[in-house]
Amino acid sequence: MYAAYEHFSRIAPKYTRLRTTDLAPVRYAVKKLGSLRHIRAADVGCGSGRYDRLLFQHLNERLELVCVDDNDGMLRVLRKDLYEHAPSLQVLRARAQALPFASESLHCMFTFNAIHHFKIRAFLHEAARSLMPGGLLFIYTRTRSQNSRHIWGKHFPQFYEKEQRLWEFVELNNFIAEVPNLHLDKIRIFQHRRVARLRWLLQQARQRHYSTFDLYGAEEFQAALAEFEQRLRRVYRNPNEVTWTDENLMLVARKMA
């Protein structure tokens, strides 16, 4: 079991509601897939399936998707929310480092906001093994530097310091370069302008919407939350309109022949 397993079990029923889902990376991936008629794909670390819903909305019946996650709670929510919209969906409980796919069987693989939880070297080898020659691996993530610049990294005490699981671009690039038949094809940075009420941000944190919050002790968390609220009240005149920019990174790696 991976370190944040308990966290994801606890948050699974509320996960989709608590997190902000970005359409831009899905649109980007759909464009990269071009006119491929039939797309056999996997989403690894799929969680409650919020990105899978978008993938189905944009690729419709062209998509044959297997959703993979190691957490039963997350997969239970995904089945409940997605089966009626996507009856062709397959759901598998498995680990990213040992994927249940035949070699060279997939046109593409996605992983959204999850790679920093995986045993990354083993995952990339498994991705490369599972992809057909020419197949694409889409990695949507946040780097440690990007994490330092969003509302939590900037204003929530110790958030950035505690979250050391995220990778920098150079590290991800090096991991990909280690896999003989995987080649980094494209890098895209996404910037998302956000507006939220302070009340909503406090509610998200209290529900521990990022697993980073589980790295705090109970008292430490309460003190940090109070400090966060004070800081935001100082910085933003209108607590109903807290604004910031979230940044994410999409790496597209290609399986070479």
Which residues in this chain contact ligand SAM in the complex, by CB under 6 A?
2, 8, 45-47, 50-51, 69-71, 74, 95-96, 112-114, 117-118
3-class state of residue 190 by DSSP: strand
Dig out the tokens for 209 from the structure.
Answer: 């919407």
Q: What amino acid is encoded at 121 in this protein?
A: R
User: What residue ranges in the chain does DSSP mark as E strands?
Assistant: 39-44, 63-69, 90-93, 106-112, 131-141, 182-196, 242-255
Cβ 117 to ligand SAM shortest distance, Å: 4
Distance CA 88, CA 78 (A): 13
Q: Please say which residue, 18 or 198, places its beta carbon nearer to ligand SAM.
A: 18
Q: What's the per-residue H, E or C state across 8-77?
A: HHHHHHHHHHHCCCCCHHHHHHHHHHCCCCCEEEEEECCCCCHHHHHHHHHHHHHEEEEEEECCHHHHHH
Cβ 183 to ligand SAM shortest distance, Å: 24
Q: Please say which residue, 153 or 232, places its beta carbon nearer to ligand SAM.
A: 153
Cβ 26 to ligand SAM shortest distance, Å: 11
Q: Please say which residue, 118 or 221, places its beta carbon nearer to ligand SAM.
A: 118
Distance CA 54, CA 65 (A): 12
Return the sign of the alpha-carbon dihedral for residues 189, 11, 7, 128.
negative
Cβ 70 to ligand SAM shortest distance, Å: 4
3-class state of residue 113 by DSSP: coil
Cβ 37 to ligand SAM shortest distance, Å: 26
Q: Which residue is nearest to ligand SAM (CB)?
A: 47
Cβ 150 to ligand SAM shortest distance, Å: 15
Distance CA 25, CA 70 (A): 23
